[in-house]
Amino acid sequence: MLRITVELVSGGREHAKRVLAKAEVSNMSDLGDVADYTVEVETAARMEPWQPEWERRGVVHGHNRSSSVWSLVAKVAAWATKESEKR
């Protein structure tokens, strides 16, 4: 599983950081060259304590596992962006 956390570090002050969004990404396949991934994303309504404003589950299809992890992160971000626009 890949866990993605998006934090805002206001003014570069680590003690003031806040989580804006979270995602968990899990491989659904048999670890072949191309894989599908389940995606669960949450976006914060309130930062502390963490309280999701919205939550979505879905699938990212056909990711080439030999590409960079950033490629998968970009696909997850694109998927989450489309989902957030549906609200």
Q: What is the mean pLDDT of each run of 10 residues along the chain (87 residues)?
A: 93 89 93 94 72 84 96 96 82
**What per-residue confidence (pLDDT) applies to 50?**
59
Q: What pLDDT, on a 0 to 100 scale, did the predictor assign at position 84?
A: 82
Question: For the whole model, what pTM was predicted?
Answer: 0.84
Give the pLDDT of residue 66. 96
State whether the Cα torsion 22-28-29-35 is positive or negative.
negative
- Domain limits, the chain: 2-85
Residue 63: what pLDDT? Answer: 96
Question: How far is residue 70 from each of residues 16, 49, 80, measured CA to CA in Å?
Answer: 26, 29, 15
Determine the pLDDT at residue 46.
63
